[in-house]
Amino acid sequence: MSIATIATALFIFAVLALVFAPIMTWVERKQSALMQDRIGANRAEIFGVRALGLLHPLSDALKLFTKEDFVPAGAHRFLHLISPFIAAVPALVSFAVIPYGGTYEAWGSRWSLVVADLDFGILYVLAIGSLATYGSILGGWSSNSNWGMLGALRVSAQMLSYEVAMGISIVGLFMIFGTLRMTDMGVAQQETFRLFGFIEHFGLAAQVPWWLAWIKVPMWGIVLQPLSFFIFTTAAIAENKRAPFDIPEGEAEIVAGYFTEYSGMKFGLFQMGEFVEIAVIGGLVAALFLGGWSIPYVKDTELIQFLSSGLGSNMANILAMVIHVLVFLGKVVMMIFAQMIVRWSSPRFRYDQVMNLGWKIMLPLSIANIVVTGFAVLLLREITT
């Protein structure tokens, strides 16, 4: 591990925890206000400057830090103390394997825009995410409160159920790309394929318009595995315990569920974990299904070559890096916004509905997806060789 790696890791950590999470609370307030025909947060001000309510995250943080840190009687003190950290840390560290750019060479050094380029990349995210369950379960159990306990029970059942569907839904991607390494998946998604190319293999080329053979589609995960995209995104939202999957905290039934007895910054940590996880889900979906950092139809090498003609190799690499990071961020922001729209437009599921959806619909569908993908991969290999 080099200094550069540690620096990148710290940078991402800081961006996620200190920039993304607070801004997302503001975005969510404004976005929900927009959807419900309200104005939304705009009261916090410093010397008359209101900045569209952007100061609200600041005052939130100030409030959370100065509030009394209350521990209920009969609580398991140690577990009550550490469970907010167990809930928040996994969300922060799972960004380590998500690539936010390709590999660039400038002035003799190589930059790969990913903290840890692991061979089992995506499994790391799933493993870390499964540990996050403990934060919520222990938080609810250690509070010595009935609301907390009910929330903890619901959380453990829900997160276990959706972890299964989430893990199995992306197996189809592994089969197509032949790798679990997320940078390799990003590179593989830069390829394009002819959408109606199979027609030639059946000897029907003469009977269809000639231009049909030239329609090209990028090999994005969402194109190759549309079902997997929907299952994965749904399961990820359920893992994050946000509406319509917010039964573990359902405020109409069990007050606030597993974090009922938390106050101050410990409560804030639970919230921060949730908001960072929104960004992580956005990053994961962008990297797995939306082509990662690449611009559709333009490969990394082509972009750098195109820019090199005017700028020289070094500057071209730097510029390509900036473009790619911005493209990736754009995709992440789009997914974040999509999650917020889902959160504010759908009513909460009932507990048994959540369980039915997870075990009886999404799990069989994702297993069927594996079978169909297997046949398709074999068939394509047969007719193309």
Partner 1 sequence: MTLNPESIVFYVFALGTLVSAVGVLLNIRSTVNAAMCLMLSMVSIAGLFVMLHAEFIGVLQVLVYAGAIVVLFVFVIMLLNLSGPAMAAESHFFAKLLGAAVLLAAAVKLSLLFLGPGEASAEIDRQFGTVAQIGRTLFTDYVVAVEAAGVLLLAGLVAAVVLAKRELD
Nearest distance, CB of residue 126 and partner 1, angstroms: 6
Q: Does 163 bind partner 1 (CB under 8 A)?
A: yes
- 59 three-class SS: helix
Nearest distance, CB of residue 174 and partner 1, angstroms: 9
Q: Does 118 bind partner 1 (CB under 8 A)?
A: yes
Report the residue number, 159 or 272, with the smaller CB distance to partner 1: 159
Nearest distance, CB of residue 339 and partner 1, angstroms: 23
Nearest distance, CB of residue 181 and partner 1, angstroms: 8
Report the residue number, 149 or 279, with the smaller CB distance to partner 1: 149
Nearest distance, CB of residue 119 and partner 1, angstroms: 5
Q: Does 12 bind partner 1 (CB under 8 A)?
A: no
Report the residue number, 20 or 134, with the smaller CB distance to partner 1: 134
Q: Does 159 bind partner 1 (CB under 8 A)?
A: yes
Nearest distance, CB of residue 21 and partner 1, angstroms: 24
Q: Which 242-301 positions form the footprint of partner 1 (CB under 8 A)?
A: none
Q: How far apart are CA 278 and CA 233, in angstroms?
A: 11
Nearest distance, CB of residue 142 and partner 1, angstroms: 8
Q: Does 103 bind partner 1 (CB under 8 A)?
A: no
Structure tokens at 76: 């398991």
Q: Does 97 bind partner 1 (CB under 8 A)?
A: no
Return the DSSP state at 109: E
Any alpha helices (H) in the chain, and if so which ranges? 3-14, 21-35, 56-66, 77-93, 121-142, 146-169, 171-177, 182-188, 198-201, 221-224, 226-239, 251-254, 264-289, 300-311, 313-345, 351-356, 363-384
Nearest distance, CB of residue 71 and partner 1, angstroms: 17
CA 83 to chain CA mean position, Å: 22
Report the residue number, 60 or 253, with the smaller CB distance to partner 1: 253
Q: Which of 91, 180, 288, 321 binds partner 1 (CB under 8 A)?
A: 180
Q: Which 119-148 positions form the footprint of partner 1 (CB under 8 A)?
A: 119-120, 123-124, 126-131, 133-134, 137-138, 141
Report the residue number, 10 or 160, with the smaller CB distance to partner 1: 160
CA angle 186, 188, 194 (to 5 degrees): 130
Beta strand 109-112 with 103-106 is antiparallel
Torsions phi, psi for 252 (to 5 deg): -80, -20
Nearest distance, CB of residue 246 and partner 1, angstroms: 19
What single-letter amino acid sits at 5?
Answer: T
Torsions phi, psi for 105 (to 5 deg): -125, 125
Beta strand 192-194 with 216-218 is antiparallel
Structure tokens at 58: 């600041």
Report the residue number, 21 or 128, with the smaller CB distance to partner 1: 128
Cα dihedral: 352, 355, 356, 357 (round 10): 120
Q: How far apart are CA 97 and CA 115, in angstroms?
A: 6
Contact between 95 and 10 under an 8 Å Cβ cutoff? The reply is: no
Q: Which of 24, 149, 265, 321 binds partner 1 (CB under 8 A)?
A: 149
Q: Which 54-83 positions form the footprint of partner 1 (CB under 8 A)?
A: 76, 79
Q: Does 160 bind partner 1 (CB under 8 A)?
A: yes
Stretch that binds partner 1, among 113-121, 188-196, 331-339, 373-381 (CB under 8 A): 113-121
Torsions phi, psi for 143 (to 5 deg): -75, -15
Contact between 199 and 222 under an 8 Å Cβ cutoff? The reply is: no
Instruction: Give contact residues for partner 1 (rule: CB under 8 A).
Output: 76, 79, 118-120, 123-124, 126-131, 133-134, 137-138, 141, 149, 152-153, 156-157, 159-160, 163, 167, 179-180
